[in-house]
Structure 1
Amino acid sequence: MGRKRVLAVIHTVTYGKRLLDVLSLLEADFRLQVFFTAPPHAFGDDVPAFLARFGAVVLPWDQATRMRFDLALAAGPRGVEYVDAPLITLPHGANYLKRVREGANSGVAGLRRQDLLPGGRLPAAVGVPHHAELRELAHSCPEAVPLAHVLGDPVHDRIIASMPLRAVYRRALGLAEGQKLVVTVSTWGADSCFGRFDALLPRLIGELPAANYRTALLVHPNVWSGHGAYQVRSWLARCAHLGIGVVPPEADWRSILIAADWIIGDHGSVTLYGTLTGSPILLAASPEQEINPSSPAATLAAHAPRLSPTHPLVDQLDYVSREYRDEEYASIRSRITSEPGRFNRNMRRLMYGLMGMGQPAHEPVTVPLPEPVPPAAWAPALGEALA
């Protein structure tokens, strides 16, 4: 039986997680065979282990670039010009939040000309989450506009579909009656929340009574890859010993975000997705120079309260709870996607159209997230990791 061949190009763990949501739309179709490959990338060291965990058929990059595929998917631009297939490019996070200042290469990450035309080659389709991105495309790379498809955002849709399970997720995390969960999230880079952990961690440890508060740390996989798991665990060893949960980079963070009572974050995607949960947000970092000024991250930075270095942390959490008005975040949430609840429908239609195949005769349902892995199975303390 001849099967169509689909290639998933996994540069980093973050990109891989995004593409797994997309690949779920191809499940149970015996007409397809999915392959994976991992191009060289500065933050790609953890990708082989990530792919091995779910038994993927992984092709060496050199082999993948010598083969022909019927469809390829990528959430990053590096090397994809060497892939012989109709290529769909997708963002790897929420919207396009970060501004890059690199001389001639400056612009919005993911929407720059070199991001959209790697090696000078146009893909078959450019997937974007919101109609507003078409204006930026027209400015930065007009050739890509006819190829653009407003698909929506898979993470947005999974979080919304999973919100009714919040109490289930909290039980899975072992939260006792009346306990509050503070989730601290960080993107990567010197100006991220992680870059301020030396000042923030003592406050999480010393100012939140353990009987009433639980804390979880969600650190971007690029931090783990860039510094190495040993170093990150070493930096966070004291937290783990004192009961602060250090979520491993391969874990699904979305159900943990839904379970939160407060989110302490920065200008990254996870903080922005936190606006969907209804939990009050406190910004520990929000560097204006790194934020795309037309993105929802810029609106969030202008609206959400900023963590103060001088006031007690518990008082600040109480303050943001009292002042939080869900309707004031509606405009921020609405900029994540202009196709809410329709990513699966739009993406599946695009993929099967490019392969010249009829879609399966059933609705592509958005499945709620599974329960989070219990904290006892999260990243081990340093000594345990070396045992």
Structure 2
Amino acid sequence: MGRVGARVTQGRAEWLRVPVGDGAVRWATRGKCLRVLVVVHNVTSATRLLDVLPLFDGDLRIQLLATCPQSSAFSAGTAELLAGTGVPVLPWEQALQTPVDLAVSASFGGELELLRGKLAVLSHGVGYTKRLAAPDTGHRTPDAGAAAGTEAGARAGSESGPVPVFGQAPQWVLSDGVPVADALVLSHPEQCDRLRAACPEAAPTAVLAGDPCFDRVLAARPYRERFRRALGVRAGQRLIVLNSTWNPASFFGDGGTGGDDLLPALLPRLAREFPVDEYRFAAVLHPNIWHGHGPGQVRAWLDRARRGGLALIDPLEGWRQALVAADAVVGDHGSVTFYAAALGTPVLLAAAPLHELDPEAPISDFMRVAPRLDPGAPLREQVDRLVERHRPLPGPAEFTTSVPGEAAARLRSLFYSMMGAAEPEWPASLQPLPLPGHEPVSVTVPLHVLTRVSHRGEVTMTRWAGAPPSAGCADGDVHIAVHEDTRDVDGLELADVVFRDGRPDDPRFGSPALWTAEVLDRHPGCALAAFVAGPSECVVRPRGGRLLGLTSAPEAPVDPAAAASALHALLGAGDGGGNAVAGRLVALLADGGFTVRTGARSARVRVVGLSPG
């Protein structure tokens, strides 16, 4: 609100001198610009602020500035993120002393009331829904407070009444009885109603301007198949996104004092119960998990699952695309799970601590009626039933935004009116979601492969990234296929099939022909070596046989490693020794290939003989 208080200035030597600061008039090339200060508390709030920064693109009258209040417990990663934007970053003390035409934040924290300019505050999730005890530190930030589900949060609530709702209660939105923000951006009238009931003094600052994050997601829906291909999802596979907000009561949390820790038992079951050719898993974790515990620690915790095929999604950019691509989401009470439901995606709740939510918020209504995960029941049956019987609930889509597709126009109009400036003449727009880089499935734990060969030469196959369920292997033959880069090195000595992926012209491997020969020589128990050269092709060498090329249709390819395992099953069907194997090879080449069935999908694999190279 532009109220300036007395501050002790420290570290002035680190203050910027251009485009603002001492001598900026002398040094700045465009010194007459309107100043827009972006207040980034942490990576979480940055995700929403980066949604709206493109609204200023192309305007030569605007100088963007950024700052971090350093009030968040989760400030790790913020400095690197700000450096990556290329926007000048002011130390917080300098930001408080610098007059600006507009400040934009996506959280309450760091004494925002002392900023010298008009302030707009956006939500960094689906409105304001969570209870959070207000801190007594002077740093009004959700990370300085105590979550409702924690011991400190419960104590704060019992001492002073119910735990307040972040972004709605007076403890969060007022300073000395005056609204912190000049404009509090909301996405739906029901949020305005709750604000009016919780804090009438702040109600006049409410501005209905939609949800820029959800608008970007809605606009990206036509590219769903591209996003799925980028994540390595093949035809016939279901993409299941595991989503968690932060804190002990979340899906990823350990339950805190007296709570249940779901993950240690659940993660291994994903490998045992879900065949890799029929399901693809991806994890979308809250940035506060990543930067609270450290990205390296998160990767270490999920190492075994990642080697079993789990994709770990970037918390800043890739999660929206994963939501668009998903067939189902297993989540909790966080905003991402609610966004998934708003898209009409089936949602299964692994955690739903209603005591942490505003009981009047639409997300609470959703949590009360959405299906729950039963950790004691078979997981695959629950997921399949969820997808096959799904009927979208109307609440999430209705209450996420009342003005879908309008956030860009409404927000730009708000920002420029707050600066007292005319809008640019071109239409307001948000950045389209970028197409993520291709992330092929990489399973490096030993694969247990169940095959059944029909009299017509069709191979029905099921592969697990772990020990298969014993009941499923009663009818068929099981072999082990292992990636050469596995950490389970003992598995290589037990492998019937050894495979790897790489470029055929990579000089480190010599050539696919040389590599396959070396593998068979190095691992006497291996019956077939397969060099995966692309999404739909591989070069294989059966022991005692000739070099072969396996390919499938590029528009709906079979995993080449699966094709190699199918060939191994065909060559070994009925045994019969070397002459029988040679005869089967001749028959396969004469037929031009074979058919592989995984789940409900079947596809043709072409077989050609290759020169020894």
TM-score normalised by the chain length of structure 2: 0.59
Are residues 352 and 278 of structure 1, via their aligned partners in 2, closer, same or farther at CA, if it must alter by over 3 Å?
same
For residue 109 of structure 1, the aligned residue among 155, 158, 166 is: 166
For residue 33 of structure 1, the aligned residue among 40, 43, 63 is: 63
Are residues 118 and 8 of structure 1, via their aligned partners in 2, closer, same or farther at CA, if it must alter by over 3 Å?
farther
User: Do the aligned residues in 2 keep the contact of 1:173 with 1:375 (CA within 8 Å)?
Assistant: yes
1:175-324 equivalent positions in 2, closer than 5 A? 175-195=233-253, 196-324=262-390
Query: Which one-letter code corresponds to 2:221 in the other structure?
Result: M
Q: Does 1:91 align with 2:114?
A: no
Query: Which one-letter code corresponds to 2:216 in the other structure?
Result: R
2:336 alignment partner, SS class? helix
1:99 shift after superposition: 2.1
For residue 18 of structure 1, the aligned residue among 23, 44, 48 is: 48
1:118 shift after superposition: 4.3
Q: Does 1:78 align with 2:136?
A: no
Higher strand share: 2
Question: In structure 1, how many angstroms separate the alpha carbons of the residues matched to 2:300 and 2:275?
Answer: 24
User: Do the aligned residues in 1 keep the contact of 2:231 with 2:440 (CA within 8 Å)?
Assistant: no
Are residues 373 and 292 of structure 1, via their aligned partners in 2, closer, same or farther at CA, if it must alter by over 3 Å?
farther
Q: Does 1:343 align with 2:400?
A: no
1:275 alignment partner, SS class? helix
Deviations 1:57-76 (A, max 9, x none): 11111111111100000111
Query: Which one-letter code corresponds to 1:141 in the other structure?
Result: C
User: Do the aligned residues in 1 keep the contact of 2:342 with 2:400 (CA within 8 Å)?
Assistant: no
Are residues 155 and 250 of structure 1, via their aligned partners in 2, closer, same or farther at CA, if it must alter by over 3 Å?
closer
User: Do the aligned residues in 1 keep the contact of 2:366 with 2:395 (CA within 8 Å)?
Assistant: no
User: Do the aligned residues in 2 keep the contact of 1:78 with 1:118 (CA within 8 Å)?
Assistant: no
1:366 shift after superposition: 4.4
Question: In structure 2, how many angstroms separate the alpha carbons of the residues matched to 1:31 and 1:90?
Answer: 23
For residue 152 of structure 1, the aligned residue among 182, 185, 210 is: 210
Are residues 60 and 120 of structure 1, via their aligned partners in 2, closer, same or farther at CA, if it must alter by over 3 Å?
farther
Question: In structure 2, how many angstroms separate the alpha carbons of the residues matched to 1:99 and 1:282?
Answer: 22
1:38 shift after superposition: 0.8
For residue 225 of structure 2, the aligned residue among 156, 167, 171 is: 167
1:337 shift after superposition: 1.4
For residue 135 of structure 1, the aligned residue among 182, 188, 193 is: 193
TM-score normalised by the chain length of structure 1: 0.93
Question: In structure 2, how many angstroms separate the alpha carbons of the residues matched to 1:209 and 1:241?
Answer: 14
Structure 1 gaps of 5+ residues are 379-383
**Equivalent residue, structure 2, for 1:375:** 439
1:338 alignment partner, SS class? coil
1:166 shift after superposition: 0.5
For residue 95 of structure 2, the aligned residue among 64, 68, 72 is: 64
Structure index of larger Rg:
2
Question: In structure 1, how many angstroms separate the alpha carbons of the residues matched to 2:211 and 2:372?
Answer: 27
Question: In structure 2, how many angstroms separate the alpha carbons of the residues matched to 1:376 and 1:38?
Answer: 36
Higher helix share: 1
Are residues 119 and 45 of structure 1, via their aligned partners in 2, closer, same or farther at CA, if it must alter by over 3 Å?
farther
Are residues 299 and 339 of structure 1, via their aligned partners in 2, closer, same or farther at CA, if it must alter by over 3 Å?
same
Deviating more after overlay: 254-263 vs 329-338: 329-338
Question: In structure 1, how many angstroms separate the alpha carbons of the residues matched to 2:295 and 2:440?
Answer: 18
Query: Which one-letter code corresponds to 1:197 in the other structure?
Result: L
Deviations 1:138-167 (A, max 9, x none): 222211111111111111211111111101
Question: In structure 1, how many angstroms separate the alpha carbons of the residues matched to 2:294 and 2:335?
Answer: 22
1:47 shift after superposition: 0.3
User: Do the aligned residues in 2 keep the contact of 1:81 with 1:119 (CA within 8 Å)?
Assistant: no
Question: In structure 1, how many angstroms separate the alpha carbons of the residues matched to 2:345 and 2:163?
Answer: 34
Deviations 1:206-225 (A, max 9, x none): 21111111111111110112
Query: Which one-letter code corresponds to 1:97 in the other structure?
Result: T
User: Do the aligned residues in 1 keep the contact of 2:107 with 2:124 (CA within 8 Å)?
Assistant: yes
1:53 shift after superposition: 2.2
User: Do the aligned residues in 2 keep the contact of 1:161 with 1:366 (CA within 8 Å)?
Assistant: no
Are residues 90 and 119 of structure 1, via their aligned partners in 2, closer, same or farther at CA, if it must alter by over 3 Å?
farther
Question: In structure 1, how many angstroms separate the alpha carbons of the residues matched to 2:441 and 2:89?
Answer: 27
Are residues 376 and 69 of structure 1, via their aligned partners in 2, closer, same or farther at CA, if it must alter by over 3 Å?
farther
Identity, % of aligned positions: 41
1:184 alignment partner, SS class? strand
1:107 alignment partner, SS class? coil
User: Do the aligned residues in 2 keep the contact of 1:179 with 1:213 (CA within 8 Å)?
Assistant: yes
Deviations 1:321-373 (A, max 9, x none): 122113xx222211111222211111111100010111111221344311123
Deviating more after overlay: 267-276 vs 101-110: 101-110
Deviations 1:287-311 (A, max 9, x none): 1111221222212212221111222
User: Do the aligned residues in 1 keep the contact of 2:184 with 2:205 (CA within 8 Å)?
Assistant: yes
Query: Which one-letter code corresponds to 2:40 in the other structure?
Result: I
Deviations 1:217-237 (A, max 9, x none): 111110112212232222111
Report how many aligned residue pairs link the two structures: 378
1:375 shift after superposition: 2.9
Question: In structure 1, how many angstroms separate the alpha carbons of the residues matched to 2:40 and 2:440?
Answer: 29
1:377 shift after superposition: 11
**Equivalent residue, structure 2, for 1:381:** none
Where relative contact order (Cα < 8 A, 6+ residues apart) is larger, the structure is: 1
Q: Does 1:355 align with 2:419?
A: yes
Query: Which one-letter code corresponds to 2:79 in the other structure?
Result: P
